[in-house]
Amino acid sequence: MDSNRTFRADAHGDDRRSPRRTCRLRAVVDVPGGPTLSAVTVDIGRDGMAILLPCPLPDGTTCRVGFSLFSGGAVQRLDLNARATNSVFVHADVRVGLAFTGVLPSTNALLAEFVNYGKR
- R_g of the chain computed on alpha carbons: 15
- CB neighbours of residue 38 within 10 Å: 13
- Domains, in order of start, for the chain: 20-108 (2.40.10.220)
pLDDT of residue 39: 98
Query: Mind giving me the DSSP string for 66-108?
Result: EEEEEETTEEEEEEEEEEEEEEEEETTEEEEEEEEES--HHHH
- CB neighbours of residue 36 within 10 Å: 11
The per-residue pLDDT for range 1-34, each reduced to its tens digit, is 333 333 233 444 455 567 888 999 999 999 999 9
**What is the rounded distance in angstroms from the CA atom of residue 84 to the CA atom of residue 48?**
10
pLDDT of residue 12: 44
**What is the rounded distance in angstroms from the CA atom of residue 31 to the CA atom of residue 65?**
9
User: The whole model's pTM is what?
Assistant: 0.83
pLDDT at 76 over 80: yes
The answer to whether 54 and 93 are in contact (CB under 8 A) is: yes
